[in-house]
C-alpha cells in the first residue's frame, strides 16, 4: 500500500526562517521526499542547502536534473530553474518565469499534482503576492493534501491569503503545528489520484522549457 511519500513546500519572503523552523522538527526517519521552492535570485549563490542540513536531521541539497527522488531527503530548487518531478525523477525546468520568478512555486506544485496526485502533500508558507495558489489548487484537484500556513502566523501573509482565497485548503495551521500534522499525514495511505486536465499537462511541459544541463547548479 502506497503512503503519502512526496511533500512539496513553497515559500518566499520570510521563508528561510520558516524552513529552518520546520525542518528542525522533522523526525530522522521522515518517510517522504521533500521538494522545496523558495524564490532565489539567479545572480547569487546560495548556502540554503547547508543551512537546512545543519538545522535538522534530514540532508538537504540543490536538486540535480534527472536524479531519482529518495525518501528522507530534501531537494531544493536551484537559482534559475523550476524544480519539477516526473515519474519519480527530478527535472530542472528552464521554462518561462512565473510570478516574475524562476524558480517559481506554481510549476513545482503542478508537476507534483500531475506526477503524484494522491501520494502528495503540498504546503504554502509565508511570502508576498500569490505564487503557489494556483499550483496548490491543482494539487488538491488531483487528490493531494493541501496545507497553508495560517496568515496570522506568517511573517508575510500575502501568499497564504492568496491560496486560501483561491480555494479551500485541507488544513490552515500555524507553523508550529505543521510538523506534527505532516508526520501524521505522511503515514496515511495514499488516495486515488484524480484525472489531470489537458491544461495542467501543458503547463507542466511549458515549465520544463529547453533541456537543462545534467548536474546544473551542483553543490
pTM of the model: 0.94
Active-site residue 53, yes or no? no
Instruction: Check 39, 94, 130, 162 and give the catalytic one.
Output: 39
pLDDT in tens, 107-140: 999 999 999 999 999 999 999 999 999 999 999 9
The residue with cell 513545482 is 108
- Alpha helix positions (H), the chain: 15-23, 48-55, 105-116, 133-141, 158-166, 178-186, 198-208
Query: Is 215 part of a structural domain of the chain?
Result: no
Whole domain around residue 113: which residue ranges?
Answer: 6-208
- Report if residue 121 sits inside a domain: yes
Query: How many whole angstroms separate alpha carbon 30 and alpha carbon 16?
Result: 20
How far is Cα 217 from Cα 219, in angstroms, rounded to an integer? 6
For the cut 90, the answer to whether the pLDDT of residue 44 exceeds it is no
Q: Identify whether 71 is part of a domain.
A: yes
Q: Calculate the CA 165 to chain-centre distance.
A: 19
14 lies in some domain: yes
Catalytic residue among 5, 12, 111, 162: 12
CB atoms within 10 A of CB 212: 20
If one counts every other C-beta atom within 10 angstroms of the C-beta of residue 1, the result is 4
Residue 12 known to be catalytic: yes
In a domain, 219, yes or no: no
CA of 193: how far to CAs of 101, 116, 117, 130, 190, in Å?
29, 7, 5, 25, 9
- The verdict on residue 38 lying in a domain is yes
Q: Tell me if 125 is assigned to some domain.
A: yes
**If you compute the radius of gyration of the chain from its CA atoms, what whole number of angstroms results?**
15
User: Is 39 one of the catalytic residues?
Assistant: yes
Domain-embedded: residue 216: no
* Beta pairing class for 89-93 and 82-86: antiparallel
Tens-place pLDDT, residues 150-193: 999 999 999 999 999 999 999 999 999 999 999 999 999 999 89
**Distance in Å from the first CA to the final CA of the chain:** 35
What percent of the chain has pLDDT above 70?
Answer: 94
How far apart (Å, rounded) are the C-alpha atoms in residues 102 and 94?
8
Residue of 49, 106, 131, 153 marked active site: 131
Residues 6 or more apart whose Cβ sits within 8 Å of residue 177: none
- The CATH number of the domain where 166 resides is what? 3.40.50.180
How many domains does the chain divide into? 1
pLDDT value for 41: 77
Amino acid at each position: 500500500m502506497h503512503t503519502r511519500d512526496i511533500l512539496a513546500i513553497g515559500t518566499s519572503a520570510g521563508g528561510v526562517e520558516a524552513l529552518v523552523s520546520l525542518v528542525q522538527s522533522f523526525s530522522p526517519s521522515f518517510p517522504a521526499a521533500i521538494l522545496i521552492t523558495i524564490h532565489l535570485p539567479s545572480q547569487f549563490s546560495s548556502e540554503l542547502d547547508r543551512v537546512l542540513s545543519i538545522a535538522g536531521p534530514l540532508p538537504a541539497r540543490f536538486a540535480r536534473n534527472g536524479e531519482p527522488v529518495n525518501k528522507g531527503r530534501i531537494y531544493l530548487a536551484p537559482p534559475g530553474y523550476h524544480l519539477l518531478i516526473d515519474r519519480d525523477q527530478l527535472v530542472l525546468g528552464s521554462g518561462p518565469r512565473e510570478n516574475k520568478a524562476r524558480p517559481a512555486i506554481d510549476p513545482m506544485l503542478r508537476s507534483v499534482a500531475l506526477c503524484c496526485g494522491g501520494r502528495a502533500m503540498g504546503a504554502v508558507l509565508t511570502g508576498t503576492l500569490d505564487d503557489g495558489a494556483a499550483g496548490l489548487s491543482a494539487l488538491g484537484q488531483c487528490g493531494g493534501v493541501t496545507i497553508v500556513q495560517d496568515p496570522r502566523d506568517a511573517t508575510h501573509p500575502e501568499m497564504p491569503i492568496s491560496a486560501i482565497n483561491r480555494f479551500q485548503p485541507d488544513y490552515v495551521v500555524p507553523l508550529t503545528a505543521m510538523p506534527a500534522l505532516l508526520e501524521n499525514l505522511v503515514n496515511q495511505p495514499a488516495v486515488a489520484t484524480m484525472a489531470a486536465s489537458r491544461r495542467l499537462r501543458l503547463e507542466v511541459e511549458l515549465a520544463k522549457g529547453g533541456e537543462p544541463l545534467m548536474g546544473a547548479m551542483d553543490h
